[in-house]
Amino acid sequence: MSSIAISLVIFLCVFGSAVIGTFIRGSLPESHLSAHSQGVVKLGMGFVATMAALVLGLLVSSAKSSYDTQSAELTDMSSKVIFLDRVLAHYGPETKEARDLLRGAVVANLDRIWPQERGRTSEMAPTSTAEAVLDKIQALSPKDDTQRSLKVQAFSLVLVLGQTRWLVYEQGAGSVSKPMLVILVFWLAAIFFSFGLSAPRNATVTTAFFISGLSVSGAIYLILEMYTPFRGLIEISSAPLRFALAHLGQ
């Protein structure tokens, strides 16, 4: 399911629980609505609300950390691509084919991860282009110590780039823990149900429940979006990689 669909389901669960609570309130005997009874309910739900707030905060922190990590890795990869191109340029004209392959890999990744055509989905799986660049560098025959040193540097950079690219791909497959999300939604539904039991049924109360439910589901939507940073609303910018592309071949 998409982030929007999951958030909509969560909103319906939370808001629906509050509305159901207001309807059940009208059928409860007076003893169940006494100050003592409501005090116990509020005490129990206060404890649940505290746990829910802590879990929600941890999820937001974890999602933001994951998003920032992948953004930093993209910037780091882009800088290494530029440096690799400069190392190959200093090696000599023998590296022209490897540099062309490197440029082609950057163009292909930009098109696959940030497709221009509407309807196309982002593709994160690494291709074999990096291995082709590696093979070209391995095939170089250094003529002096300078070229030997540059070849070693270029070889190391390609290995690091390939490793980072797979790391970004593996991290993109991560997501919020489903059992934790289910438990959190259950807690939120219970909290809103208790709100409904304590509130009269009128337009003002219903509007407050609607806005509160929308806010909670919106927070979970942001969490889900940050776990998929290369597609969706909160998308990592392609600017670092496009900047690297503009400096390749110079």
Task: Look at residue 213 in the predicted model and tell me its pLDDT.
Answer: 92
44 — pLDDT class (breaks 50, 70, 90): confident
pLDDT at 50 over 80: yes
Contact status, residue 154 vs residue 145, Cβ threshold 8 Å = no
Q: Is the pLDDT of residue 210 over 90?
A: yes
Q: Which two tokens stand for residue 72?
A: 């930093």
Residue 118: its pLDDT value, please?
Answer: 62
pLDDT for residue 117: 64
Q: Quick: pLDDT tens for 80-89.
A: 999 999 999 9
Q: Is residue 8 very low, low, confident or very high in pLDDT (cuts 50, 70, 90)?
A: very high
CA distances from 23 to 5, 9, 138, 210 (A): 27, 21, 74, 15
- Taking residues 90-99, report their average pLDDT: 89
CA 33 to chain centre: 44
Region 133-161: mean pLDDT is 88
- Tell me the helices (H) and strands (E) count for the chain, helix number first: 8, 0
DSSP 84: H
CA 154 to CA 65: how far, in whole Å?
31
Position 11 scores a pLDDT of 94
The predicted pLDDT at position 171 comes to: 77
Whole-number Å distance between alpha carbons of 246 and 88: 16
Indicate the pTM of the whole model: 0.79
Averaged over 161-177, what is the pLDDT? Answer: 79
